[in-house]
Amino acid sequence: MKHSPRSLPLSNSFAALPDDFYSRVAPTPFQSEAALIHVNRAAVELLELDPACAQDEDFVHIFSGRRRLEQGAPIAMRYAGHQFGHFVPQLGDGRAIMLGETTNSKGEKWEIQLKGSGMTPYSRMGDGRAVLRSTLREYLCSEAMHGLGIPTTRALCIIGSDDKVYREQIERGAVLTRLAPSHVRFGSLEYFYYRNKHEQLKQLIDYVIEQHFPALADAEQPVLALLHEVISRTARLMAQWQAVGFCHGVMNSDNMSILGLTLDYGPFGFLEGYNPRHVCNHSDHQGRYAYDQQPEIGLWNLACLAQTLLPFMSEEQAKDALNQYAGQYGRHYRQLMAAKLGFEIGDETIHTLVERLLQHMQLAQTDFTRLFRELCNVERDSDAPHDTLRNMFVDREGFDAWLSDYRAALRQSAKPDAERQALMKRTNPKYVLRNYMAQIAIDKAERERDYSEIDTLMQIMQRPFDEWPQLEHYADPPPDWAGEIEVSCSS
């Protein structure tokens, strides 16, 4: 059965928790007329909405916060967090309001959250608004990550306005409708732990287990089992980020999902010229969240989470759980990188090949995505130089030696060329959401109210492994001006 937004069956299990966990707050409508900027048809299907509903006035009014859903119980969630390594005891949804949750016919639960919908008790001197620029970036990237097969929040639509929002400059206001099975973060648990509110902390843990990990309720120690599960999910997520060259930019503990989702897209970026020390966030002056630091920061945040669970387990149990992270991350990463080279098993020989390749890439600042996609075309039985690949490197003789060893390894343990190459092209994306692409879409939307570039990028990013012959130029090297783009925490 297809629903209209007004008939969407809505509840709010989080709002059934005591008031300590949130504040009840209604969205603040735009002062100017709101208008639909873009709708994600894939997310429309997730919620089992009628595809035609986006054309209705109701759609714009509901997802801009002007019209309240009768079954909704809008709330702003409360949490704390470690930001750039420093604990901040009072954070929360400063510009996001959860309308409620719906469950589709597949049994999938989706919380519906309006981001940029006005002030809440947690806005901390802010205006509670989002700008079209940042909203568009999150909208596009959450779908791009889903297209890459990486766990992420999703986005339903962007509603825009002519309201002026003041950041570094005056910008147009917008609201993003974000979807996730849960928006609970590591910082949600930190909030109660550091206030010594262990009863509420246990309520939140029980809620997470009941709603999202019901099988853990039968474990001998459900809280310890939860920690192990979150560690496992986070280790895999970090490996997936690294394997596609994704940089999050602000890995604070309040931006870490208890479900292992990619959460809160701000100054993100995908690697272009390979530099393991790349920092995508212009505000991160110390490089805390550099690309090569992300796996370690994942563990650091998990240690923050484990700290909050100490009232319910011993320190030794928590340490033993955390000690599993490095091995899990390493196994996932090696396997993913082996698959990028066309191998089923990431043994030590393959790992050495990967490391040697990355060293050559770092020396030449080789484009991460283009390099691995071009590797899909290598023929294992050829001895000829591969000029397209060779020209991506400074030490070309060194790369020739690597390529010879790579072909030897392919002959020994990989599938026949045609089968392997097809698998590699389903592993190595041809397209990623480069910052310059998002910037072009932003410029067209802001200056010309032309949203056609959003259509094109959504089409490509939902199927980034396909060839898209008519859109081949989106796989080209970034233009020179792309290097001038700076993204920061305000992005």
Span 219-226, average pLDDT: 98
Q: Which residues contact 137 (CB under 8 A, 6 or more apart)?
A: 265, 268, 438, 442, 487, 491
Answer yes or no: is 460 within a domain: no
pLDDT higher than threshold 90 for residue 101: yes
Please say if the pLDDT value at position 134 is more than 60. yes
Q: What is the pLDDT of residues 45-97, one digit of tens each?
A: 999 999 999 999 999 999 999 998 878 889 999 999 999 999 999 999 999 99
- Tell me: is residue 301 an annotated ligand-binding position: no
Please choose, from the candidates 409, 413, 407, 242, the residue with its C-alpha nearest in 3D space to the C-alpha of residue 344: 413
Q: Are 117 and 97 within 8 A, CB to CB?
A: yes
- Asked if residue 332 belongs to a domain, the reply is no
SS3 415: coil
Look at residue 443 and tell me whether its pLDDT is greater than 80.
yes
Of 182, 203, 223, the position where a domain reaches its end is 182
- 400 marked as binding residue: no
**Is residue 463 situated within a structural domain?**
no
The DSSP letter of residue 341 is: T
CA proximity to 348, closest of 373, 330, 374, 363? 330
Q: CA-CA distance, 372 to 353, in Å (whole number)?
A: 13
3-state secondary structure 107-142: CCEEEEEEECECCCCCCCCCCCEEEHHHHHHHHHHH
- Residue 416: CB atoms within 10 A of its CB come to 10
Confidence class of residue 490 from pLDDT cuts 50, 70 and 90? Answer: low
264-274 tens-digit pLDDT: 999 999 999 99
Query: 425, 443, 478 — which closes off a domain?
Result: 425
Asked if 461 contacts 433 with a C-beta cutoff of 8 angstroms, the reply is yes
Does residue 449 have a pLDDT over 90?
yes
Query: What pLDDT was estimated at residue 246?
Result: 98
**Catalytic: 450?**
no
Domain count, the chain: 2
For residue 348, what are its two tokens?
């030590």
Mean predicted confidence (pLDDT) in 176-191: 98
In a domain, 32, yes or no: yes
Q: What percent of the chain has pLDDT over 70?
A: 100
pLDDT surpasses 60 at 429 = yes
* Average model confidence (pLDDT) across the chain: 96
Find residue 487's DSSP bridge partners. 281
Q: Which domain holds residue 397?
A: 341-425
Give 256: exposed, middle or buried? Use CB within 10 Å, 0-12, 13-18, 19+: buried
Looking at residue 5, what is its pLDDT?
A: 86
CA 434 to CA 268: how far, in whole Å? 10
Average pLDDT over residues 103-127: 95
Is 260 assigned a ligand-binding role in the annotation?
A: no
Q: Domain boundary residue among 153, 182, 211?
A: 182
Comparing 113-122, 262-271, 405-414, the range with the smallest average pLDDT is 405-414
Would you place residue 42 in the very low, low, confident or very high pLDDT band (cuts 50, 70, 90)? very high
pLDDT value, residue 491: 56
Q: Which residue in 200, 21, 183, 40 sits closest to 100, CA to CA? A: 183
185 annotated as belonging to a binding site for a ligand:
yes
Whether the per-residue pLDDT at 1 is higher than 80: the answer is no
Element (H, E) at 464: none
Tell whether residue 133 is among the known ligand binding residues.
Answer: no
Q: How far is CA 321 from CA 296, 330, 332, 338, in A?
A: 15, 15, 17, 26
Q: Is residue 243 part of a domain?
A: no
Q: Tell me the mean pLDDT in the region 236-240.
A: 98
Which pLDDT belongs to residue 109? 96
List the catalytic residue out of 254, 320, 367, 450.
Answer: 254
Q: Is 356 annotated as contributing to ligand binding?
A: no
Q: What angle do CA 311, 309, 193 make, to 5 degrees?
A: 75
What local confidence, expressed as pLDDT, does residue 151 receive?
98
How many Å apart are CA 273 and CA 278, to the nearest integer? 9
What global pTM score does this model have? 0.97
pLDDT band of 486, cuts 50, 70, 90: confident
Q: What is the mean pLDDT of residues 215-238?
A: 98
User: What is the longest distance spanned by two Cα atoms in the chain?
Assistant: 69
Q: Which of 27, 72, 36, 32 is nearest to 54 (CA)?
A: 36
pLDDT of residue 207: 98
Is 178 annotated in a binding site? The answer is: yes
Is 95 annotated in a binding site? The answer is yes
277-319 per-position pLDDT tens digit: 999 999 999 999 999 999 999 999 999 999 999 999 999 999 9
Is 298 marked as binding a ligand?
A: no
